[in-house]
Structure 1
Amino acid sequence: MVASIALPRMLRIGAGAVTEAADVASTLGVTRPLLVTDPFMVVSGTADLVLNALKQGGLDAALFSETVPDPTTDSLAAGVAAIAHHQADALIGLGGGSPIDTAKALALLSKQGGHMRDYKAPKVNLGPVLPVIAIPTTSGSGSEATQFTVITDSANSEKMLCIGLGFLPAAAIIDFELTESMPARLTADTGVDALCHAIEAYVSRKANPFSDSMAMAAITAIGRNLRRVYADGHDRDAREAMMLASLEAGIAFSNASVTLIHGMSRPIGGNFQVAHGLSNAMLLPAVTAFSVGGAEDRYAQVARALGVASDATADAHASLALVDEVTQLCADLHVPTPEAHGISREKWDALTPVMAQQALASGSPANNPVVPTADDIESLYAKIFS
């Protein structure tokens, strides 16, 4: 088997790395970057921190702060206009997965035109694109290191997976100090998102030795640190470990693909405006239980990495211990069911067939150890509701 591995050209990792944004940009030949972020990053002062670092480094930087959670096709128009107005030669995505995904989409649209629905999977997108420098402020999406972006079609609420090297950032700045103000709920949801990335990459039918190494490192670190950082957001060691694990998990799934959890998660987010990490967490226990029989040895290794099984534990028992562990983890992190989150059962049931078809159309379920039918997916949606 030959594995094709793609990574950002440059990673700058460590406390205070964000202050080196100008050096990273200059190394890439950038002179007129546009900082793409959201209003919270402006209010919190983080956007100014980055802008000041860029300007002090001699760069002509401008700000676009109109990104929205779970970006939509309608939300991109203002960003394309801002790029043209500033004559930007690069984009810097600052924030969680949504601003970074927005920057990736804008980087392609500003060069190729058209609409994002023209670029959704299974189309593989290359270039030309503006270079993107990603600066994550959460420990979860891994978008800073992936060749994917997810944009919701405003016309029909479909969360469109868009793939290809055109969406891979040229560089990423990984500074865990930017995550220290994350509230507990966001810490939990983004942390489970990273865990899903790592587990799915490891059990994916497209897994390879390189992605395996990244996935297992991430799983081990998340197992040791997610509960810690949820309990104490000021635990710097745990914050740093989770930030690195998020990056490793992103690298893993970018080079191996996600599976059924993400396939089912995107329709929940698109149709019910549930945060991506939270919808993953809602699905993690049930989808794991559904899938373990297809790759018992792989799920057993995940259990061992999480510390809930030993080398002496038989794979069959270890894989079941994993189901118990992810169930307990979601309970410890107070992950709500869709019903507890306030979603109407009537609307959930009505949209379940549509969501099942959207999940299958994304392609991700085909990478699952047990490839589901539409009926299987509908049953899983029914199971997790309450």
Structure 2
Amino acid sequence: MNFQGIFDFNLRTNLLFGEGSVAKITNVVQKEGFQRVLVICDKGIQQANILTFVTDELERSGAEYVVFSDVEANPTTTNVNHCMEILNRFQPDFLIGVGGGSPLDVAKAVSLLATNGGKIEEYEGIDTFEKDPLPLLAVPTTAGTGSEVTIFTVITNPETEYKLTAGGKRLAPKWAVMDPELTRTLPPHITAATGMDALVHAIESYTSTATYPLTETLALEAIRVISSNLRQAVFNGDNMKARTAMLYGSLIAGVSFNNTRLGNVHAMSHPLSAMYNVPHGVANSVLLPYVMTFNLPAAPEKFVDIAKAMGEYIDPEVSMMENAYTSIKAVERLAKDVFIAKDFSRYHVKKEDIQTMAEDAMKSGNVLVNPRKTRIEDIIALYEETVGESAGNEAQLVTE
């Protein structure tokens, strides 16, 4: 561990974690004196009756509330604008985001616009807004995004097919209620994809050039917890020990990368999601082994640590490099075991779009902290490996 220099650790969110913690929403609303609440979610949350966990608490609190449920996967500026129309009519003093990363990202964007005005496109970058966002409580229903503690929101502009990132320390939710019971009915394929997303967060945070001892400790623990519980959560959703562990692993991975940023996997996944609507977790999972292979020579000792955290045997009789490569095999085996597609052939990504995607990826600040210095030619080569015409697709998602 490198203890040189000064680090600024950020965690602005009050965490309420554990089975039954959703009941604490009433306490927050009443203690803070909130009267009017806008709840932001997606249709799946409503259809699965997960939303009632939250609305029942709001009814107990005595606060008025309305629900905006038109958030789509890979949320767009259109979603944000429509939600703002509801907000401007209802004039809430409190926001609650319920769901995976998409509803939580829309909730963050709306919290920013509620007090600063304008369009979310005007706030790309870090600390580009002046006024504190409207208070926000996040209720994650997946174990993957870490969005309940992060200072970023990622929104797609459908006109330009570009994912913009807005952020700042004040954008993190003020509260996060993390009740693993709300993840119990998550379908296997979403459990798998979001779980792999959380693993990518941990691995990229651990290998980031901006990491330091505290974030390294969190990232390695997240790698250990996620890799030893994801299979169980996918194949038995009622296994609450595994569900709780996955939610915890996702949380600490989010706390870690919130302070370090990520790397080339996330830089490259955003254009794929924006242009081809590839689910974020799937995009990250497919890209991960390729980017790990690219990065490994720059920090082999870190990849040995990752292998150890994933339960791999480290052979003292072989070289560091050989042991480091076992981390990639472990990642590939985990993705295969939970039936994540191993390439993008099902999404019909066009090779002629690689140049545009690479240019967009290079705009990401994540490239700057990737452990291996990266040129646009490198990104192009990595895309070509994953979307080439000869790429196979033997693995299938658990649930189509």
**TM-score, normalised with respect to structure 1:** 0.95
Secondary structure at 1:233 match in 2: coil
Aligned position for 2:371: 369
Alignment of 1:309-348 (within 5 A): 309-310=313-314, 312=316, 314-344=319-349, 348=350
CA distance in 2, matches of 1:361, 1:205: 17
CA distance in 2, matches of 1:311, 1:240: 32
Q: CA deviation at 1:231?
A: 2.1
The residue type equivalent to 1:167 in the other structure is L
- Which one is further off, 356-365 or 16-25? 16-25
CA distance in 2, matches of 1:62, 1:263: 35
Q: 1:142 aligns with which of 141, 146, 150?
A: 146
CA distance in 1, matches of 2:28, 2:323: 44
Residues 26/212 of structure 1: CA separation in 2 closer, same or farther (3 Å cut) = farther
User: 2:271·2:357 contact (CA, 8 Å) conserved in 1?
Assistant: yes
User: 1:211·1:255 contact (CA, 8 Å) conserved in 2?
Assistant: yes
Secondary structure at 1:66 match in 2: strand
The answer to whether residue 155 in structure 2 is matched with residue 174 in structure 1 is: no
CA distance in 2, matches of 1:204, 1:29: 41
The answer to whether residue 24 in structure 2 is matched with residue 20 in structure 1 is: yes
Residues 47/148 of structure 1: CA separation in 2 closer, same or farther (3 Å cut) = same
Alignment of 1:39-118 (within 5 A): 39-118=43-122
CA distance in 2, matches of 1:342, 1:261: 18
CA distance in 1, matches of 2:108, 2:266: 19
CA distance in 2, matches of 1:29, 1:154: 38
The residue type equivalent to 1:234 in the other structure is D
Q: CA deviation at 1:333?
A: 2.1
Q: CA deviation at 1:5?
A: 1.8
**Residue by residue, what CA displacement relative to the aligned partner does 1:66-93 show, whole Å, maximum 9, x if unpaired?**
2121111111112112112221111100
User: 1:25·1:133 contact (CA, 8 Å) conserved in 2?
Assistant: no
The answer to whether residue 227 in structure 2 is matched with residue 223 in structure 1 is: yes
Q: CA deviation at 1:218?
A: 0.7
Unaligned stretches of 5+ residues in structure 2: 392-400
Residues 71/48 of structure 1: CA separation in 2 closer, same or farther (3 Å cut) = same
CA distance in 1, matches of 2:163, 2:226: 27
Q: CA deviation at 1:153?
A: 0.9
Unaligned stretches of 5+ residues in structure 1: none
Residues 321/99 of structure 1: CA separation in 2 closer, same or farther (3 Å cut) = same
Alignment of 1:24-35 (within 5 A): 24-35=28-39
**Residue by residue, what CA displacement relative to the aligned partner does 1:81-125 show, whole Å, maximum 9, x if unpaired?**
211222111110000100000000000011112222221136655
- Which one is further off, 118-127 or 221-230? 118-127
Aligned position for 1:357: 359
Secondary structure at 1:139 match in 2: coil
- Which one is further off, 62-71 or 269-278? 62-71
- Which one is further off, 273-282 or 231-240? 231-240
- Which one is further off, 295-304 or 95-104? 295-304
- Which one is further off, 302-311 or 156-165? 302-311
User: 2:29·2:61 contact (CA, 8 Å) conserved in 1?
Assistant: no
User: 2:286·2:344 contact (CA, 8 Å) conserved in 1?
Assistant: no
User: 2:278·2:347 contact (CA, 8 Å) conserved in 1?
Assistant: no
**Residue by residue, what CA displacement relative to the aligned partner does 1:154-175 show, whole Å, maximum 9, x if unpaired?**
2111011222113211010000
Alignment of 1:139-218 (within 5 A): 139-218=143-222
Q: CA deviation at 1:220?
A: 0.7
Q: CA deviation at 1:253?
A: 0.5
CA distance in 2, matches of 1:207, 1:141: 19
Q: CA deviation at 1:339?
A: 4.1
- Which one is further off, 185-194 or 203-212? 203-212
User: 2:315·2:323 contact (CA, 8 Å) conserved in 1?
Assistant: no
Secondary structure at 1:307 match in 2: coil
Aligned position for 1:303: 307
CA distance in 2, matches of 1:279, 1:339: 8
CA distance in 2, matches of 1:180, 1:39: 17
Secondary structure at 1:144 match in 2: coil
The residue type equivalent to 2:379 in the other structure is I
User: 1:160·1:362 contact (CA, 8 Å) conserved in 2?
Assistant: no
**Residue by residue, what CA displacement relative to the aligned partner does 1:175-201 show, whole Å, maximum 9, x if unpaired?**
011111111110110000000000111
Aligned position for 1:250: 254
Backbone CA RMSD of aligned residues: 1.6
CA distance in 2, matches of 1:168, 1:122: 12
Aligned residue pairs total 383
The residue type equivalent to 1:60 in the other structure is E
Secondary structure at 1:217 match in 2: helix
- Which one is further off, 3-12 or 196-205? 3-12
Residues 230/204 of structure 1: CA separation in 2 closer, same or farther (3 Å cut) = same
User: 1:304·1:318 contact (CA, 8 Å) conserved in 2?
Assistant: no
CA distance in 1, matches of 2:131, 2:103: 20
Residues 139/60 of structure 1: CA separation in 2 closer, same or farther (3 Å cut) = same
Q: 2:289 aligns with which of 279, 285, 289?
A: 285
The residue type equivalent to 1:350 in the other structure is E
